[in-house]
Amino acid sequence: RTKTQNFCRNEYNLTGLCNRSSCPLANSQYATVREEKGRCYLYMKTIERAAFPRRLWERVLLSKNYEKALEEIDENLIYWPRFIRHKCKQRFTKITQYLIRIRKLTLKRQRKLVPLRRKIERREKRREEKALIAAQLDNAIEKELLERLKQDTYGDIYNFPIHAFDKALQQQDAESESESDAENEEEEEEEEDVDKREFVEAEDSDLSDFEDMDKLETSSEEEEEEEEEVEQKASRSKTKGKTPLKGPARRKRPYIEIEYEEETEPTTKTKAA
């Protein structure tokens, strides 16, 4: 309902509005154009048939050709009031235009709207939340990463693995300590410290993005280094079954010492202390 006009609900109405002049109920001589399944028909109502509701509306098929159909409307409504003729032709024009548009659209991709069921949506949402809580993603990811670290997928980038292997092997083997072992321990200590130093330095230069992480990291690593040294000194009876590694390590030893002499100065100081 617009401000000035009402809409007519009758399906045979010519314009859409409820007026005295365009109501099919109010006028006994009336005509409309309607289309069914893509074909347009001209419907006419005359006074003579007012008594017979079944035969009231007379239907004429209009040709598919636009101009011919207009002529047909004209010949059928020849002595009819101008208003009705004009409006019929207008309506027919509109109808053909929208039929053309429909045909064009069906050729292009159609967007199908699938209605979303509210109950189901709610259910899915709830289940998802619960699944998220059950998943404990962070823990899972951390575990997986540690697993991969243990399985040595990262190769030699990280130097922790030696400790991990130690602790694992400790439980299995029970070799007694030996001088060579002690030596190797010392060696590995130095190597580790050296390498750790390297590791930390590299991190600082490459990943200066992580300010906070860096600080955390470096501080924790320094602490760890000291702790490890203390640990190793205290418990020399720990066994390290990794003899195959120590061969090349031993060979590398003198070289490493020479190269990184300066860097290991602080560590030597702590050792002395």
Partner 1 sequence: QEKLAAKKKRRKEREALGDKAPPKAVPKTIENQRVYDETTVDPNDEEVAFDEATDEFAPYFNRQTVPKILITTSDRPRGRTVRFCEQLSSVIPNSHVYYRRGLALKRIIPQCIARDFTDLIVINEDRKIPNGLVLSHLPEGPTAHFRMSSVRLRKEIKRRGKEPTEHVPEVILNNFTTRLGHSIGRMFAALFPHDPQFIGRQVATFHNQRDYIFFRFHRYIFKSEKKVGIQELGPRFTLKLRSLQKGTFDSKFGEYEWIHKRREMDTSRRKFHL
Binders of partner 1 among residues 210 to 249 (CB under 8 A) are 210, 213, 216-217, 220, 224
Nearer to partner 1, 81 or 161 (CB): 161
Give the binding range for partner 1 (CB under 8 A) out of 5-13, 42-50, 119-127, 249-257.
119-127
Three-class HEC string of 63-105: CCCHHHHHHHHHHHCCCCCHHHHHHHHHHHHHHHHHHHHHHHH
Tally of helices (H runs) and strands (E runs) in the chain? 9, 3
The nearest distance, CB 77 to partner 1, in angstroms, is 43
Strand order in the sheet with 30-36: 30-36, 39-45, 57-61
With CB under 8 A as the contact rule, the residue among 130, 233, 236, 252 that binds partner 1 is 130
The nearest distance, CB 265 to partner 1, in angstroms, is 25
131 belongs to the binding site for partner 1 (CB under 8 A): yes
The nearest distance, CB 113 to partner 1, in angstroms, is 10
Beta-strand runs (E) in the chain: 30-36, 39-45, 57-61
Beta-strand runs (E) in 108-253: none
With CB under 8 A as the contact rule, the residue among 59, 101, 125, 233 that binds partner 1 is 125
> What's the token pair of residue 261?
């002499």
Query: Which residue matches tokens 């967007």?
Result: 111
φ/ψ bin of 155: left (φ > 0), alpha (ψ from -120 to 50), beta (otherwise): left
With CB under 8 A as the contact rule, the residue among 78, 134, 234, 258 that binds partner 1 is 134
Residue 242 contacts residue 168 (beta carbons within 8 Å): no
Q: Which spans of this chain sit near partner 1 (rule: CB under 8 A)?
A: 108-109, 120, 124-125, 127-128, 130-132, 134-135, 137-138, 140-142, 144-146, 148-149, 154-155, 157-158, 160-161, 163-164, 206, 209-210, 213, 216-217, 220, 224
